[in-house]
């Protein structure tokens, strides 16, 4: 459930009509709803009531400071994958002690910054990374809290680009090597073993892969207890899907009930890392029709947002709903909604039934997660502005880039 709906003929974010925002801030424009973000975060938090737990929002899904601020105020933890994301969390008022650090390629500098800030756990993804954490912790004279990311080799049945828990994926430590690595970590003075971690993929629509993964994790955690290694937390990652079209993802409550079942009787705190399920349907991308054109039988609506603004359709063939902000009466036609970027893969949607005129506004739904964060300056296009709506108020939370922003740091030749 989100807070975007048509009222008196115009799509609104909460109580704010989108045409007014397009006038005020221009297009393309990402518009987020604070009430939706809070609702989604609370759905996860509430679902674990009675069980020690921490919701660590996956910052990569949408890292705008205002959005992190909203979640930090709710008491959220965070899952980060870079030093840049750590800086954002801290600037937005998030706590390092509630932040976990995932990712296969952490640099020495990133690890040092995270340990110096007092990170809750480094989710270690390989033996080589464990060695590096030891080296960095020794240099800083601190003890590093670590958790191993297990690759449970389960099939999340999602797009291959966003599956992470299969043996052939680059993520995590193979289950067969986990025990040995934990024993090594446990015996190392610079390390404190605090947890176990896992993330099997994204946009999952079934709970079955979680059940399979958790069975493996519980087996490993039990074996660790036999070795005198007691984990404080079990991090089950994120990946819960959302409805873009007709998917039927589990609700947070259903998903949590299954997780609670799998972990019943286990002594650890539950950690989760949802990203898309919190931010995805809390945002739309507003774009204006520049031109309508026909090439033979084919009709195109050329809009002012392109693959540089929203990459998911081009990269994954992802389907996201496109609606008229002010629907008009009149004959509908099938349009490919395409951007201005010079690539045939630059489309936001294909074969969409719409009644359109030039200058009409369209909204691409489900653009709150993996939207702005994946945008680029390809074709020297300034990145879009972002607005947060709260009730009847709208606040600019990121200015539209200017040509000077794009060229900052570049130089002409010196001679
Ligand atoms: N934790 C870790 C370690 C992750 O790698 C991810 C996502 C998450 C949590 C959050 O997953 P979520 O709850 O958002 O599914 N760009 C792709 C999605 C990539 C996801 C990468 N990892 C897309 O647009 O579909």
Q: Does residue 344 belong to any structural domain of this protein?
A: yes
Residues 262 and 290 in one domain: no
Give the Å distance between the CA of 238 and the centre of ligand 1. 7
Residues 28 and 158 in one domain: no
Answer yes or no: is the C-beta of 237 below 6 A from any ligand 1 atom: yes
Distance CA 327, CA 355 (A): 7
Residue 162: per-residue pLDDT: 65
Q: How many of the other CB atoms lie within 10 Å of CB of 395?
A: 12
Residues 377 and 403 in one domain: yes
Answer yes or no: is the C-beta of 224 below 6 A from any ligand 1 atom: no
Residue 169: per-residue pLDDT: 77
Q: Angle, nearest 10°, between helix axes 208-226 and 175-186? A: 40
Give the rounded distance of the alpha carbon of 47 from its chain centre. Answer: 20
Distance CA 203, CA 218 (A): 23
Q: Does residue 414 belong to any structural domain of this protein?
A: no
* CATH number reported for the structural domain that contains residue 352 in this entry: 2.40.37.10
Which of 226, 247, 276 is the C-terminal boundary of a domain? 276
Answer yes or no: is the C-beta of 312 below 6 A from any ligand 1 atom: yes
Residues 87 and 18 in one domain: no
The two three-digit tokens of residue 64, written as one number: 């705008």
Pair 68, 59: CB distance under 8 Å: yes
Q: Does residue 24 belong to any structural domain of this protein?
A: yes
Answer yes or no: is the C-beta of 242 below 6 A from any ligand 1 atom: no
Give the Å distance between the CA of 327 and the centre of ligand 1. 33
- Select from 106, 125, 172, 238 the residue to mutate for testing ligand 1; criterion: most ligand atoms less than 8 Å from CB: 238
Q: Does residue 415 belong to any structural domain of this protein?
A: no
Q: Residue 322 forms beta bridges with which residues?
A: 364
Residues 79 and 132 in one domain: yes
Give the Å distance between the CA of 317 and the centre of ligand 1. 17
Residues 227 and 267 in one domain: yes
Residues 253 and 339 in one domain: no
Q: Does residue 412 belong to any structural domain of this protein?
A: no
- Select from 40, 57, 60, 250 the residue to mutate for testing ligand 1; criterion: most ligand atoms less than 8 Å from CB: 60
Distance CA 23, CA 9 (A): 17
Q: According to the 3-state scheme, what is the secondary structure of the chain? A: CCCEEEECCEEEECCEEHHHHHHHHCCCEEEEEHHHHHHHHHHHHHHCCCCCEEEEEEHHHCCCHHHHHHHHHHCCEEEECCHHHHHHHHHCCCCHHHEEECCCCCCHHHHHHHHHHCCCEEEECCHHHHHHHHHHHHHHCCCEEEEEEEECCCCCCCCHHHECCCCCCCCCEEHHHHHHHHHHHHCCCCEEEEEEECCCECCECCCHHHHHHHHHHHHHHHHHHHCCCCCCEEECCCCECCCCCCCCCCCHHHHHHHHHHHCCCCCCEEEECCCHHHHHHHEEEEEEEEEEEEECCEEEEEECCCCCCCCHHHHHCCCCCEEECCCCCCCCEEEEEECCCCCCCCEEEEEEEECCCCCCEEEECCCCCCCHHHCCCHHHCCCCEEEEEECCEEEEEECCCCHHHHHCCCCCCCC
Residue 113: per-residue pLDDT: 98
Give the Å distance between the CA of 59 and the centre of ligand 1. 9
Kindly give the confidence (pLDDT) of every residue in the chain, 415 residues in length, as a single tens digit, with 9 standing for 90 and above: 789 999 999 999 999 999 999 999 999 999 999 999 999 999 999 999 999 999 999 999 999 999 999 999 999 999 999 999 999 999 999 999 999 999 999 999 999 999 999 999 999 999 999 999 999 999 999 999 999 999 998 877 777 766 676 777 778 899 999 999 999 999 999 999 999 999 999 999 999 999 999 999 999 999 999 999 999 999 999 999 999 999 999 999 999 999 999 999 999 999 999 999 999 999 999 999 999 999 888 999 999 999 999 999 999 999 999 999 999 998 999 999 999 999 999 999 999 999 999 999 999 999 999 999 999 999 999 999 999 999 999 999 999 999 999 999 999 999 8
Q: Does residue 413 belong to any structural domain of this protein?
A: no
Answer yes or no: is the C-beta of 277 below 6 A from any ligand 1 atom: yes
The two three-digit tokens of residue 109, written as one number: 């500098």
Which of 241, 276, 311 is the C-terminal boundary of a domain? 276
Pair 174, 215: CB distance under 8 Å: no
Tally of structural domains, the chain: 2
Query: How many residues does the structure list for the chain?
Result: 415
Nearest ligand 1 atom to the CA of 311 is 24
Q: Does residue 93 belong to any structural domain of this protein?
A: yes
Distance CA 179, CA 223 (A): 8
Q: How many of the other CB atoms lie within 10 Å of CB of 281?
A: 25
Answer yes or no: is the C-beta of 244 below 6 A from any ligand 1 atom: no
The two three-digit tokens of residue 361, written as one number: 């506004």
Distance CA 197, CA 178 (A): 11
Q: Does residue 206 belong to any structural domain of this protein?
A: yes
Answer yes or no: is the C-beta of 349 below 6 A from any ligand 1 atom: no
Which of 276, 295, 320 is the C-terminal boundary of a domain? 276
Residues 68 and 100 in one domain: yes
Residue nearest to atom 8 of ligand 1 (CA): 238
Residue 44: per-residue pLDDT: 98
Give the Å distance between the CA of 328 and the centre of ligand 1. 37
Residues 142 and 117 in one domain: yes
Sheet architecture: strand order including 4-7: 4-7, 10-13, 16-17
Answer yes or no: is the C-beta of 65 below 6 A from any ligand 1 atom: no
Residues 43 and 75 in one domain: yes
Give the Å distance between the CA of 58 and the centre of ligand 1. 7
Residues 102 and 194 in one domain: yes
Range(s) of the domain holding residue 197: 34-276
Residue 154: per-residue pLDDT: 87
* CATH number reported for the structural domain that contains residue 264 in this entry: 3.20.20.10
Residues 198 and 290 in one domain: no
Residue 155: per-residue pLDDT: 78
Instruction: Let me know if 340 is exposed, middle or buried by CB neighbors in 10 A (0-12, 13-18, 19+).
Output: middle
- Reply yes or no on whether 56 is catalytic: no
């Amino acid at each position: 459930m989100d807070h975007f709906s048509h009222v008196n003929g115009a799509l609104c974010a909460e109580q704010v009509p989108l045409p007014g925002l397009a006038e005020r801030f221009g297009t393309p424009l990402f518009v987020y709803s604070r009430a939706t973000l809070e609702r989604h975060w609370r759905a996860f938090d509430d679902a674990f009531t009675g069980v020690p737990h921490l919701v660590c929002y996956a910052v990569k899904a949408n890292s705008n400071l205002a959005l992190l601020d909203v979640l930090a105020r709710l008491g959220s933890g965070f899952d980060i994958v870079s030093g840049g994301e750590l800086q954002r969390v801290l600037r937005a008022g998030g706590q390092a002690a509630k932040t976990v650090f995932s990712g296969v390629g952490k640099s020495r500098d990133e690890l040092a910054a995270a340990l110096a800030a007092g990170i809750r756990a480094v989710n270690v993804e390989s033996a080589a990374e464990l060695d590096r954490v030891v080296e960095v912790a020794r240099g800083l004279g601190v003890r590093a809290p670590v958790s191993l990311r297990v690759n449970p080799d389960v099939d999340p049945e999602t797009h291959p680009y966003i599956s992470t828990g299969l043996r052939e994926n680059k993520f995590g430590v193979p289950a067969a090597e986990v025990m040995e690595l934990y024993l090594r970590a446990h015996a190392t003075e610079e390390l404190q073993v605090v947890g176990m971690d896992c993330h099997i993929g994204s946009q999952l629509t079934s709970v079955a892969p979680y059940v399979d993964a958790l069975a493996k994790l519980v087996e490993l955690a039990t074996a660790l207890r036999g070795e005198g290694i007691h984990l404080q937390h079990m991090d089950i990652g994120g990946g819960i899907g959302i409805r873009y079209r007709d998917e039927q993802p589990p609700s947070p409550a259903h998903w949590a009930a299954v997780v609670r079942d799998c972990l019943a009787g286990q002594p650890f705190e539950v950690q989760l890392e949802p990203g898309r399920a919190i931010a995805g349907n809390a945002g739309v991308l507003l774009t204006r029709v520049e031109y309508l054109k026909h090439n033979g039988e084919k009709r195109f609506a050329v809009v002012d947002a392109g693959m540089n603004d929203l990459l998911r359709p081009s990269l994954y063939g992802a389907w996201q709903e496109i609606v008229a902000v002010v629907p008009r009466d009149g004959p509908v036609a099938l349009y490919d909604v395409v951007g201005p970027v010079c690539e045939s893969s630059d489309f936001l949607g294909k074969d969409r039934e719409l009644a359109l005129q030039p200058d009409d506004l369209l909204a691409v739904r489900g653009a709150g997660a993996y939207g702005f964060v994946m945008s680029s300056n390809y074709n020297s296009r300034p990145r879009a502005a972002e607005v947060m709506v709260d009730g009847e108020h709208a606040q600019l939370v990121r200015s539209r880039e200017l040509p000077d922003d794009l060229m900052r740091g570049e130089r002409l030749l010196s001679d």
